Structure 1
Amino acid sequence: MSLLNSFKETLKPCKNPSSSSSSPISHYSQHSVSLQFDPTINPRKPPKSSLSQQLLRLQDPLSLPQTQSQSQQRQTQVEDEGEDEDEEDEKQDVFGRPKLDSFQFDHTGPFEPLVLSLPGEIPVIQVPASINCRLLEHQRGGVKFLYNLYKNNHGGILGDDMGLGKTIQTIAFLAAVFGQDGEFCVSVYHGANRDLILEKLEACGVEILITSFDTYRIHGSILSEFPWEIVIIDEAHRLKNEKSKLYRACLEIKTRKRFGLTGTIMQNKIMELFNLFDWVVPGCLGTREHFREFYDEPLKHGQRSTAPERFVRVAEERKQHLVAVLRKYLLRRTKEETIGHLLMGKEDNVVFCAMSDLQKRVYSRMLQLPDIQCLINKDLPCSCGSPLTQVECCKRTVPNGTIWPYLHRDNPDGCDSCPFCLVLPCLVKLQQISNHLELIKPNPRDDPDKQRKDAEFASAVFGTDINLVGGNSQNESFMGLSDVKHCGKMRALEKLMFTWVSKGDKILLFSYSVRMLDILEKFLIRKGCYFSRLDGSTPTGLRQSLVDDFNSSPSKQVFLISTRAGGLGLNLVSANRVVIFDPNWNPAQDLQAQDRSFRYGQKRHVVVFRLLAAGSLEELVYSRQVYKQQLSNIAVSGKMEKRYFEGVQDCKEFQGELFGICNLFRDLSDKLFTSEIIELHEKQGKEYGHHLRKEQDLDELGMLFVPSKEASETTSGSETSKPKGMERSKLTKPVLEDLGILYAHRNEDIVNFGSGVQGKEKASMPQNESPGQPCFPAVGRRKSDVAGGKENASSKRQKKSQYSLLAQSMGMGEVEFSKWLLSATSAEREKTLRDYKKRKEKNPVG
């Protein structure tokens, strides 16, 4: 009944005193029913927020001047950003909504219907005035997109960023096609009332049916027998795995009009696109094997750092083709392009913290365990003298290991997956060591056998340092747990928070581990910080008050949140500092967490700090995040991305630096893995005129911690007024070293390298320059030639002539040569330049 009441509340007429009448609403006769999945359905949860409450967390549409053509253009734009959660926000009681003055929404829009059908068409399909007056302009564009798909008798994906109102757009769309201006007949298929709802369905007494993923997965065979007119799946990215029971159940739904709502079109692999769109519009991307061969493999191999030019060219062609196909069925808008001008902004810093000496020793001992050595050496010849590899012969099992015997305590001969069954448990242990040594000790909540196993493991990796950490059992000492000396990330966090709290900043502190949250809580208590905490054990009824209290109370300085529990409906708009203590393999998880404060209503510019343990597995986790985000930007949005990595996902021939078991368990203690990759390509970036600005990022990051007096002296006034030799880097580098920060960069400078779609050369060109010229800085542009952008005409003509000659020497036209330069490695470009100079010296006239 709660959801039925919410629909009633949603469709109440808009009380606009300035509007005395509205256009008549034509009721569209519809005999079929609709099915909408709600993954968080709960018969006891509070009612869904009203439409006006949902709109309060967005913005005043009067501040969004937008032309009709702009709205139409957005219907064909495809962007990829972040994890979608606004479906969840609107199905639960909304948390922490900014309290805006009522006058902002006195006149939200024209009190008239939004006509969707073409002129002269009967019946007239239109969004009722009572709903249209509450829609924002980008939401009206979304409703039109959904209706056009519906009219063409197929479905599609509404992929707006979270917080942009996908649910509101869906309600408006359903109101139009069902011709409803008042109340829908809505039922919830869940719990004990299922049989009653089935009777109503058989009697055609239901217009819209709402159910959960789990309920449909179990009872989908019953529901699929009914003739559904429309099916709408919330959180459609849940359909990324074609082998899941949910995916197979949803394939049984008999309707062509399938719609998905998600802001995360692709999370990990390009093949996820096929699974999602093949469910929405079966056959739109061909067969699975065709998609893999025609799109997946070329795109992945074309992104390899040393990919041959022909691979890059094929990948470019396939990418453009894929984007063109997806654009027919996908509408994707981001917050930046819709309400970005109303937000205060966000900066995403990735900070590599030095592990403590003790952490490094424990990490090294972990890598030397027989369990991990078995995985690392799996492909080496077996020591018994047989022609087989170790994993095929004597080293398939690890009876002398620390982890393997417990996993196979009931099967001493091992399992069919041995020794690869060790990979996940070993990765978890390495991540725990990277975050805090206390995490690898026994958890009192576990069963006694597991506690004994964990105690044995802790003793093995602590070795001679065991007394420094208080033994191999859980530390009960408050002072011991809150001490930061043995945790590199906490040492950095301690100094960061001291500065932030003194400035009055409000901080969100995320971790996916409840035990890590317990440790951080003791750390905050010891430091005297006023904080709130929210994790999976926090009652739903208390979450609203916790969020409201944090947003409104100046005394609440820190909000400690579980990344998993914090993903649903948390709008913490008062925070201006976000710390993600531990990274997730899925980049969408970390992006979703930081967007808790990056929403309409935010009070200040948000600065995010993702803490990584330098030299640990976490560097590889982050590098894979970058890889996945880049593939998503390429496949979904057609963007150009820098080719950092040699590894190719799911390709044993090109595992490179990212993939394969040996990379997972590689010892990175003697290097900065990520820094080396970025610096390797930074030179190429500078040759293109793009600057990754690692040094600048370090300086600007350090400026966040410099006392305000010193900072003002450094940043104010002209350069000539500064003391001689006083540079920002000299001021801030010691500050960063004192924080235990070895390296840092902005994530947005690494991902989203290209500003536009590749293949449209003019999109990224400076004005008054030839098409090929921006791709030619590797040939040796002098700074004086481009200072201030005031090149004279003679210099331009000379450079264009030189560029043309160089292209001819390669047997290419200028545009073709420009594309080659974009894909060529630094060594290839330097060789081309050397050869050109040699030929020119031998033949100066030519």
Structure 2
Amino acid sequence: MRHPGNPAFPVVITSYEIILRDFADLRRIPWKFLIVDEGHRLKNLNCQLIQRLKSLNSANRLLLSGTPLQNNLKELWSLLNFLLPDIFDDLESFQSWFDFDVTGDEGSQQILKREEEAQVVTKLHLILRPFLLRRLKADVDLSIPPKHEYILYCELTQQQRDVYVAVLERELVTAKGSLRLQNVLMQLRNVCNHPYLFDWPTDEQGEEQIDERIVSSSAKMVLLDRIMTRLRAEGGHQTLIFSQMTTQLDILQDYCTLRGFSFERLDGSVTNVERLEAMERFNKGGVDVFLLSTRAGGLGINLVAADTCIIYDSDWNPHADLQAQDRCHRIGQKEVVLIFRLTTTDTVEEQVLKAAKDKLKLEQLVISRGKYKMVGEKTDRDEKLKKRELINLLAYDPSKSALGRGADKTITDDELAIVLERRAERATDKGHGFAPVEAVVSKFDQTAKETGDASGVDGAADAVAATAAQA
């Protein structure tokens, strides 16, 4: 850094934290290329990181991201504004043109109407195409085995039902007294995970008890125990278990101890050195389980030794769960990967699934459909999105929501045996207590796969690169 332009050091690799700390020195150097990995971190147009990066003297900018569109089009505009601030300079105008509401049939009908009248979806694709290059794992490594994702359903235990009703009525009383429930939605999600998050049984000395009740009191824990018991019987499997909450990881850690599973753990409190050491121990084999918080363990980690991934509780942002899955389903994986998403029926978790469905539908509409195979590709102003294609895109439903399931839909032992099979093709039919998550996310994509059209892609993008040369 003391000798900018020195050919002996043509590349500088650094972190976001160093950018913020040493910005005064970095801004004095004329950079030929500025490449930002995990580019979706710039989705907040007001964050300090994006302001610092914008101020660097760079001739060209490149963003790398597996999830460039996560929640809304405002985040996508933030990335485009970083790349081409002179072109994408008016967020209000951008939103007025491309304000897509993909929720429900009414939103879909509105998009269809706007496409027929003004080709708004087609125009957005034409705008993005010169600046966006999309690559899937299948485009660069055909040897990666498939992954099969399933939503597994279970019914709340009676203890959970009692706590769930008490939370709804704001009348929850524990051994420590009445609880003030500030965020009812979050508390309901806690109930779905485990009642011990509210009240852990203790012995006469006040010590927390760890026994079979840690399993039997939670429907998800019962289901998890059934999965882990079968995997242990088969032998040779390593498993990743993701949760949003470190308190739930505490319970899972006690479960592993109770059942004699060897484990590693990674959450926000783990240092970088400890993280690397834990990854190395796990990938060497001999460790049964890796417990991870979804946010801390969803990025920058390679755990290809695992062939099973369990999402204990889903994130409101579905792309966080997709990033978590890709810790094991990535280049270097040799086995078929099974992804299990645990969900309680007739609870608030159905609302989480629905929110995830709408966000993934938006990504499918804007990113997956566009023909982003050649960077800088010229746009064809006469090209229009066919109405049938748009209808298929809007019909995309990856969550297979449990809404309205009614009767007990806990997965049976026979169904569990089906989803645990590591076959080349996933089970396609819905079961009594499970639903496969579509790998081919729309009829358009299915047609593209059958005809070999490279513009049709599946819903789990591995990498998207957006690039533009600035004057």
Query: Using the alignment, how far apart are the partners of 1:747 and 1:474 within structure 2?
Result: 44
What SS does the aligned partner of 2:444 have?
A: coil
Aligned equivalent of 1:704, options 395, 418, 425: 418
AA of the residue aligned to 1:271: K
Is the Cα–Cα contact under 8 Å of residues 531 and 557 in structure 1 kept in the other structure?
yes
What are the ranges of 5 or more consecutive residues in structure 2 without an aligned counterpart? 173-177, 371-391, 452-471
Distance of aligned partners of 1:354 and 1:227 in 2 relative to their CA distance in 1, 3 Å threshold:
same
Give the Å deviation of 1:288: 1.0
Distance of aligned partners of 1:493 and 1:203 in 2 relative to their CA distance in 1, 3 Å threshold:
closer
Query: Using the alignment, how far apart are the partners of 1:678 and 1:641 within structure 2?
Result: 25
**Fraction of identical pairs, as percent:** 28
Is the Cα–Cα contact under 8 Å of residues 305 and 643 in structure 1 kept in the other structure?
no
Query: Using the alignment, how far apart are the partners of 1:518 and 1:763 within structure 2?
Result: 45
Is the Cα–Cα contact under 8 Å of residues 42 and 49 in structure 2 kept in the other structure?
yes
- Deviation string 1:307-366 (CA, Å, 9 cap, x unpaired) is 475641424722222122212111110102321x30121011112221111112211211
Give the Å deviation of 1:511: 2.1
Quote the residue 2:72 is aligned against: 269
Query: Using the alignment, how far apart are the partners of 1:237 and 1:706 within structure 2?
Result: 33
Is the Cα–Cα contact under 8 Å of residues 239 and 290 in structure 2 kept in the other structure?
yes
Distance of aligned partners of 1:570 and 1:484 in 2 relative to their CA distance in 1, 3 Å threshold:
same
Is the Cα–Cα contact under 8 Å of residues 145 and 334 in structure 2 kept in the other structure?
yes
Aligned equivalent of 1:331, options 133, 137, 142: 133
Quote the residue 1:118 is aligned against: none
Quote the residue 2:291 is aligned against: 560
Is the Cα–Cα contact under 8 Å of residues 570 and 596 in structure 1 kept in the other structure?
yes
Give the Å deviation of 1:590: 1.0
Greater strand percent: which structure?
Answer: 2
- Deviation string 1:566-622 (CA, Å, 9 cap, x unpaired) is 234433323222111111112122111112221233232111101122222222112
Query: Using the alignment, how far apart are the partners of 2:414 and 2:84 within structure 1?
Result: 47
AA of the residue aligned to 1:492: L
Quote the residue 1:523 is aligned against: 255
Does residue 582 of the first structure (1) align with residue 313 of the second (2)? yes
Aligned equivalent of 1:306, options 106, 110, 125: 106
Quote the residue 1:747 is aligned against: 437
Quote the residue 1:831 is aligned against: none
Query: Using the alignment, how far apart are the partners of 2:249 and 2:108 within structure 1?
Result: 47
Distance of aligned partners of 1:253 and 1:494 in 2 relative to their CA distance in 1, 3 Å threshold:
same
Give the Å deviation of 1:206: 6.8
Q: How does 1:357-756 map to 2 (within 5 A)?
A: 357-369=158-170, 403=180, 422=182, 425-441=183-199, 469-470=201-202, 476-479=208-211, 483-504=214-235, 505-553=237-285, 555-638=286-369, 640-643=392-395, 674-676=401-403, 701-704=415-418, 743-748=433-438, 752-756=441-445
Is the Cα–Cα contact under 8 Å of residues 350 and 747 in structure 1 kept in the other structure?
yes
What SS does the aligned partner of 1:745 have?
A: strand
Query: Using the alignment, how far apart are the partners of 1:350 and 1:231 within structure 2?
Result: 40
Query: Using the alignment, how far apart are the partners of 1:574 and 1:206 within structure 2?
Result: 35
Query: Using the alignment, how far apart are the partners of 1:356 and 1:622 within structure 2?
Result: 21
Is the Cα–Cα contact under 8 Å of residues 343 and 601 in structure 1 kept in the other structure?
yes
Q: How does 1:688-837 map to 2 (within 5 A)?
A: 701-704=415-418, 743-748=433-438, 752-756=441-445
Query: Using the alignment, how far apart are the partners of 1:347 and 1:529 within structure 2?
Result: 24
- Deviation string 1:45-104 (CA, Å, 9 cap, x unpaired) is xxxxxxxxxxxxxxxxxxxxxxxxxxxxxxxxxxxxxxxxxxxxxxxxxxxxxxxxxxxx
- Deviation string 1:504-530 (CA, Å, 9 cap, x unpaired) is 133222223222222112212222333
Query: Using the alignment, how far apart are the partners of 1:250 and 1:598 within structure 2?
Result: 31
Query: Using the alignment, how far apart are the partners of 1:570 and 1:308 within structure 2?
Result: 37
What SS does the aligned partner of 1:479 have?
A: coil
Equivalent residue pairs, number? 414
Query: Using the alignment, how far apart are the partners of 1:270 and 1:612 within structure 2?
Result: 29
Distance of aligned partners of 1:764 and 1:257 in 2 relative to their CA distance in 1, 3 Å threshold:
closer
Distance of aligned partners of 1:355 and 1:224 in 2 relative to their CA distance in 1, 3 Å threshold:
same
Distance of aligned partners of 1:524 and 1:294 in 2 relative to their CA distance in 1, 3 Å threshold:
same
Distance of aligned partners of 1:202 and 1:335 in 2 relative to their CA distance in 1, 3 Å threshold:
closer
Distance of aligned partners of 1:304 and 1:312 in 2 relative to their CA distance in 1, 3 Å threshold:
farther
TM-score normalised by the chain length of structure 2:
0.75
Give the Å deviation of 1:207: 4.8
Distance of aligned partners of 1:355 and 1:232 in 2 relative to their CA distance in 1, 3 Å threshold:
same
Does residue 248 of the first structure (1) align with residue 51 of the second (2)? yes
Distance of aligned partners of 1:305 and 1:216 in 2 relative to their CA distance in 1, 3 Å threshold:
same
AA of the residue aligned to 2:136: T
Larger Rg: 1
Distance of aligned partners of 1:572 and 1:644 in 2 relative to their CA distance in 1, 3 Å threshold:
closer
Give the Å deviation of 1:218: 5.3
Is the Cα–Cα contact under 8 Å of residues 438 and 475 in structure 1 kept in the other structure?
no
Which of the pair has the greater relative contact order for Cα pairs under 8 Å at 6+ separation? 2
What SS does the aligned partner of 1:363 have?
A: helix
Is the Cα–Cα contact under 8 Å of residues 345 and 405 in structure 2 kept in the other structure?
no
Query: Using the alignment, how far apart are the partners of 1:367 and 1:763 within structure 2?
Result: 47
Give the Å deviation of 1:492: 0.9
Query: Using the alignment, how far apart are the partners of 2:420 and 2:101 within structure 1?
Result: 43
Query: Using the alignment, how far apart are the partners of 2:206 and 2:113 within structure 1?
Result: 56
Is the Cα–Cα contact under 8 Å of residues 242 and 324 in structure 2 kept in the other structure?
yes
Give the Å deviation of 1:545: 4.9
Is the Cα–Cα contact under 8 Å of residues 573 and 599 in structure 1 kept in the other structure?
yes
What are the ranges of 5 or more consecutive residues in structure 1 without an aligned counterpart? 1-186, 188-196, 372-400, 405-421, 442-467, 646-671, 680-694, 709-714, 716-727, 734-742, 767-846
Give the Å deviation of 1:675: 2.5
Distance of aligned partners of 1:206 and 1:492 in 2 relative to their CA distance in 1, 3 Å threshold:
closer
Distance of aligned partners of 1:705 and 1:623 in 2 relative to their CA distance in 1, 3 Å threshold:
closer
Is the Cα–Cα contact under 8 Å of residues 644 and 678 in structure 1 kept in the other structure?
no
What SS does the aligned partner of 1:257 have?
A: strand
Query: Using the alignment, how far apart are the partners of 1:308 and 1:531 within structure 2?
Result: 45
Give the Å deviation of 1:220: 3.7
- Deviation string 1:91-138 (CA, Å, 9 cap, x unpaired) is xxxxxxxxxxxxxxxxxxxxxxxxxxxxxxxxxxxxxxxxxxxxxxxx
Quote the residue 1:465 is aligned against: none
Quote the residue 1:322 is aligned against: 124
What SS does the aligned partner of 2:445 have?
A: coil
Deviates more, 1:519-528 or 1:556-565: 556-565
What SS does the aligned partner of 1:328 have?
A: helix
After superposition, the CA RMSD in angstroms is: 4.1
Aligned equivalent of 2:16, options 213, 219, 237: 213
Query: Using the alignment, how far apart are the partners of 2:396 and 2:152 within structure 1?
Result: 19
Query: Using the alignment, how far apart are the partners of 1:356 and 1:201 within structure 2?
Result: 64
Distance of aligned partners of 1:218 and 1:569 in 2 relative to their CA distance in 1, 3 Å threshold:
closer
- Deviation string 1:26-60 (CA, Å, 9 cap, x unpaired) is xxxxxxxxxxxxxxxxxxxxxxxxxxxxxxxxxxx
Q: How does 1:171-182 map to 2 (within 5 A)?
A: none
Query: Using the alignment, how far apart are the partners of 1:312 and 1:244 within structure 2?
Result: 35
Greater helix percent: which structure?
Answer: 1
Query: Using the alignment, how far apart are the partners of 1:551 and 1:642 within structure 2?
Result: 40
Give the Å deviation of 1:280: 0.4
- Deviation string 1:356-385 (CA, Å, 9 cap, x unpaired) is 1111221121122299xxxxxxxxxxxxxx
Query: Using the alignment, how far apart are the partners of 2:444 and 2:129 within structure 1?
Result: 19
Give the Å deviation of 1:402: 5.5
Is the Cα–Cα contact under 8 Å of residues 241 and 290 in structure 2 kept in the other structure?
yes
Distance of aligned partners of 1:642 and 1:571 in 2 relative to their CA distance in 1, 3 Å threshold:
same
Is the Cα–Cα contact under 8 Å of residues 439 and 515 in structure 1 kept in the other structure?
yes
Is the Cα–Cα contact under 8 Å of residues 642 and 754 in structure 1 kept in the other structure?
no
